[in-house]
Structures are given as structure tokens and as C-alpha cells.
């Protein structure tokens, strides 16, 4: 999976999974453009000083202007990987419209707008798009108690499959991964009694994303790949 001289956008790249993806990409030779919303994200980002990492103060990726700034002037784009999103649990009766729209904006709208910008950038050259859904996007009953999040991530899955069919003629292969709970320090702190050994590691999920985004992937499109580990 050689990414030498290939340009890749990684939204959510400063987070736990995103950092693993960016680290794997730069080890494979890629140049990564990584947006951030708050300065603190950039400051704690492990790869911020790497010569092939460009940090962009993009702001809210549910805003069209912010997404335009992120993709503006980028050299020929090979891959766009969309990890940015947010999680909120809550019973339906306790979830108001503002909470629903927050989940839709952070997860689905941001993904839609970045997919749109990526397709525009890749139409003449081809490329790869990888989105991040979630286990409840495939297993809806698992979304009980987090209905707004489940709706948003199911939308990401539907977007991925529909766009994969639409963009294939332009040589753009679109796929997604659907993680279960990831083994991160934050998740361990939130669920100290869980079986952490069963959770997929961010490096393992990053490896799947890297393949789907790579030139080695020549035929896979429209897939929502479960990355559950042993969970």
C-alpha cells in the first residue's frame, strides 16, 4: 500500500482513530491535510510537526464554507477519509430536535459535504473515499438508547453505498468502515468494567481504512465493512 506523493484529506485526524490513520498514511509516504476545529486539538496532535502533515483551521465541517476552505487549492487529491463526527447517547424521549440536528450535522452533514468536495476534486483523476459509520448503522437494534446517533450513522452508510454507485464511472471507489466501540483511553475511562480486550484497536481499524483508501484497492466499492474485533 504505497501512498508516496499521494495527497490525502483526513477529517477527524486529530482524534484517536484519526491519529492512527494519519500515522499509518505518512509511514506509507502520503501527504496528509488534517482539519481541526479548536487550537487545542492541533497542539496535542502527535503528528503536527511532520513535514508531510498540513493542519488546517477549518472550523465546523457541517458548514459549506469551512469545507470549501479545507479542499481549496489542494494538489491532486487521491483519497478523502472522513472520521470526523460526534457521539451522544440518550433515550428518544429525552432527545429534542436540537440534539438530533447536532448528531446529523456532526456525523452525516459533515460527511456529505466532504464527500461532495472530494468527488469534485477527483472527478478527472479518480481516487478513493472512505467514510466511518458505526455498528448501529448496520445493526439498528444496537442503537437503542442512542437513536439520534444511530440515525446519523445509518445515513452515512446509505450515503456511502449510493455515492459508490454514482462515482464508480469516474474511477472513484467509495467505502466505509463500521466500528464497534474502539479501544481508546476515553472509552476505557467511560466503561471501566467492559472487556477492553475484545474491543478493536485503533491501529487495526486504521489498517482496514488504509487498504480501502489505497491504490491496492482496485475493485472494492459500496462496502460497509464491519470492524468489530471480538466485541
Catalytic residue set: 149
- Give the contacts of 116 (CB within 8 A, at least 6 positions apart): 67
Cα–chain-centroid distance for residue 151?
Answer: 16
β-strand partners of 77: 7
Who contacts 130 (Cβ-Cβ below 8 Å, separation ≥6)? 79, 80, 81, 82, 174, 175, 176, 177, 209, 212, 213
Amino acid at each position: 500500500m504505497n501512498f508516496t506523493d499521494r495527497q490525502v484529506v483526513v477529517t477527524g485526524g486529530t482524534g484517536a482513530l484519526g491519529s492512527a490513520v494519519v500515522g499509518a498514511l505518512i509511514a506509507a509516504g502520503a501527504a496528509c491535510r488534517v482539519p481541526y476545529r479548536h487550537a487545542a486539538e492541533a497542539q496535542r496532535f502527535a503528528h503536527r510537526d511532520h513535514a508531510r502533515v498540513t493542519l488546517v483551521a477549518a472550523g465546523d465541517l457541517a458548514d459549506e464554507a469551512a469545507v470549501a476552505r479545507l479542499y481549496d487549492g489542494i494538489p491532486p487529491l487521491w483519497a478523502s477519509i472522513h472520521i470526523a463526527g460526534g457521539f451522544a447517547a440518550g433515550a428518544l424521549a429525552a432527545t429534542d430536535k436540537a440534539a438530533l440536528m447536532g448528531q446529523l450535522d456532526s456525523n452525516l452533514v459533515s460527511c456529505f459535504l466532504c464527500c461532495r468536495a472530494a468527488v469534485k476534486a477527483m472527478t478527472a483523476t479518480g481516487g478513493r473515499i472512505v467514510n466511518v459509520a458505526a455498528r448501529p448503522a448496520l445493526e439498528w437494534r444496537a442503537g437503542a438508547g442512542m437513536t439520534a446517533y444511530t440515525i446519523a450513522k445509518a445515513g452515512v452508510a446509505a450515503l456511502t453505498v449510493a455515492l459508490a454507485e454514482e462515482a464508480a464511472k469516474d474511477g472513484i471507489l467509495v467505502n466505509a468502515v463500521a466500528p464497534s466501540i474502539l479501544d481508546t483511553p476515553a472509552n476505557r475511562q467511560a466503561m471501566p468494567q467492559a472487556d477492553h480486550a475484545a474491543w478493536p484497536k485503533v491501529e487495526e481499524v486504521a489498517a482496514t481504512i488504509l487498504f480501502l483508501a489505497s491504490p491496492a484497492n482496485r475493485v472494492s466499492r459500496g462496502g460497509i465493512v464491519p470492524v468489530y474485533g471480538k466485541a
